[in-house]
Amino acid sequence: MSETVLAERASEPDTGVAVRTRGLTRRFGKQVAVDGVDLAVPRGAVYGFLGPNGSGKTTTIRMLLGLIAAHAGDIELLGQPMPRSAARVLPRVGALIEGPAFHPYVTGVANLRRLDVMDATADPSTSAARIDDALARVGLTAAAGKKFRNYSLGMKQRLGLAAALLKPRDLLILDEPTNGLDPQGTREVRKLVRDLASDGSTVLVSSHLLSEIEQVATHVGMMVGGRLVRQGTLDEVLAEGAATVVVGTPDTDLAAETLRRLGLECTVAGEVSARLGTVAVEAVAKALVDAGVRLRRLDVEKPGLEDLFVSITGEGFDVLR
C-alpha cells in the first residue's frame, strides 16, 4: 500500500462509517425522489440497499458519487465530505451504476485498458495483471477479446463489475449488479461480494431482489417512495417482523381455539398458523399440550425481508415496479 494512501487514511476521522448521509434530499420538478435520507453504512459491511424500482435507490447512489447534486443534506464517503473531497475519495471507490457504458466497437479487455489509462492513480506497470485478474473474477476471461457490442446483457454487466475491480477499493457501490445475469451468474456475484468484504472492502449493493440480498448482507436499508423506512443489521431489521407459529395436528379446531384464547389470530389450512406477536412460543406449546392437542409439529417461521416489506407497506415489489 502506498505512503500516499496511508497518509490519507491517517488523516480521516475514525468514525467507523464508510457512507453517511444526513437529510439527503433530491427533487425532480415537484416530485421528491429522495426525501431526507440518513444512511449509515459501517466500514467492512455488506449493506443491502433495498427497495422496489423507482424507490430512490439509484438517485441516492448518484448523489453519493457526485453525479447529480443534492438539493439538501450532507454526504460523507470514507470519512470525507462530498462532493468537496471527490478528487481524493473517488479513486478509492469502485462503482457500477445503471448498466455500464463502454465503447461498443472495441473488445472487453481494450475497454478496461482505456479506463485504466485514464485513471491517474493507477500504476501502469501492473495494468495488464490487474485487468486479467478483474476479468477472471467476473468470469469474462474467455470473452475478453470479444467486441463489447456483441456482449449479452449479462456479459456487459460483468464487464462493468470488472471495471469497478481494476484496483483494490475501500468502498464498492453496486447498483443492481445481477441485472441480466442467469442464476449461475447471480450466485457468482453473490460469492464475489462476500470475497470483497472478506478482503476488507465495504460493499453497498442496491437491489430489488430481496431474497438475494438476504443471503449476503450484514446490514440493510429499505427505501420506499424516496424515504428510508428501515435500517440496521440484518438481524435487527428482521426482528421487527412478527414470527409465525405453525402447528401440525389432527386436532385443528381445538388447536385454533387454544391459540385464539391466547389472543392470536389463526389461519387454518391443513395446519394451524398464527403470528406470535408478543406471545412466547413456549407459552403456545404449553397451552396446546395442556388443552390436549396432539402435536405432529410445532415450528416457528421467521419472516424474510420481502415478508417484512409487505407487512410495512401492504404491497409487494411487483406492485411498485
Supply the pLDDT for residue 99: 66
- Residue numbers of the domain that contains 269: 244-301
Q: In the predicted model, is pLDDT for residue 93 greater than 90?
A: yes
Domain CATH code at residue 157: 3.40.50.300
* Whether 213 and 289 share a structural domain: no
Domain CATH code at residue 274: 3.30.70.100
Q: In the predicted model, is pLDDT for residue 3 greater than 90?
A: no
* Whether 181 and 40 share a structural domain: yes
Supply the pLDDT for residue 272: 92
Does some domain include residue 321?
A: no
Task: Kindly report, residue by residue over 99-146, the tens digit of the pLDDT.
Answer: 668 999 999 999 999 999 988 888 999 999 999 999 999 999 999 999
Query: In the chain, how many domains are there?
Result: 2
Does some domain include residue 311?
A: no
Task: Kindly report, residue by residue over 8-21, the tens digit of the pLDDT.
Answer: 443 445 469 999 99
Q: In the predicted model, is pLDDT for residue 253 greater than 60?
A: yes
Outline where DSSP puts E strands in the chain.
17-28, 31-37, 40-42, 46-50, 72-77, 80-82, 93-96, 171-175, 202-207, 219-224, 227-233, 244-248, 266-269, 271-275, 297-301
Average pLDDT, the chain: 87
Supply the pLDDT for residue 70: 96
* Whether 191 and 132 share a structural domain: yes
* Whether 265 and 124 share a structural domain: no
Q: Please tell me the distance from the alpha carbon of residue 166 to that of residue 213, in angstroms, as a whole number.
A: 24
Supply the pLDDT for residue 205: 95
Supply the pLDDT for residue 145: 95
Mean local confidence (pLDDT), 77-97 = 92
* Whether 92 and 234 share a structural domain: yes
